[in-house]
Amino acid sequence: MALLDILRYPDPRLHKVAKPVTEFGTERLRKLVADMAETMYDAPGVGLAATQVDVHERVVTIDVTEAQEKLMVFINPEITWASEEKQVYDEGCLSVPGIYDGVERPARVKVRAFDVDGKPFEVEADGLLAVCIQHEMDHLMGKVFVEYLSPLKRNRIKAKLQKEERGMQRDAAQRAARR
């Protein structure tokens, strides 16, 4: 297993729409899922879409348990039902580090997906799991949660993250120059 690099907003690769997985049970797919899970747990986060690690396939890993003991893998997920009831949940994102804001989404969803071997399954979710499924599926469609926020908030977040990125690049260059 290996830790993967997580793309940071506003990286344009986060806006690519993921393609469906067509080959199941392969060593490549198993490795991708294992690497995504390791990356998600290390970050630490509760969900990760393949898009966030610059793999543009419809693969999501989720684990909303405190003990990180119930990894869920959704391949080619599709929401088949969403409640009319909405909820606002403070969301964060591994691609938008340190930023949290309220996003309104359906309170409950049903999702159909495949496991790594191509076996179909369905899950009905509410609470954090429902939010996480919807959030990660947005990534597969090239959407980042900050796009639900006002243009003013989104621009402030983008400017803040770009400034942090420039600082990290400057620090790395200074460390390299000292060697």
135 annotated as belonging to a binding site for a ligand: yes
Count other C-beta atoms under 10 Å from residue 98's C-beta.
Answer: 10
Alpha carbon 145 to its chain centroid, in Å, reads 10
In this structure, are strands 96-106 and 59-62 parallel, antiparallel, or unpaired? unpaired
**Could you give the CA distance from residue 109 to residue 121 in angstroms, rounded to a whole number?**
14
Cα atoms in the Cβ-side hemisphere of radius 13 Å centred on 131: 17
Q: Where are the extended beta strands (E) located within 50-119?
A: 59-62, 72-82, 86-93, 96-106, 108-114
Residue 73 is encoded by which pair of tokens? 């893998």
Instruction: Judge whether 125 and 109 are in contact, CB under 8 Å.
Output: yes
Q: Catalytic residue at 136?
A: yes
- Active-site annotation holder among 91, 136, 147, 164: 136
Beta pairing partners, 148: none
Alpha carbon 138 to its chain centroid, in Å, reads 8
93 annotated as belonging to a binding site for a ligand: yes
Binding residues for Fe cation, as ranges, are: 93, 135, 139
- What positions carry a catalytic annotation? 136
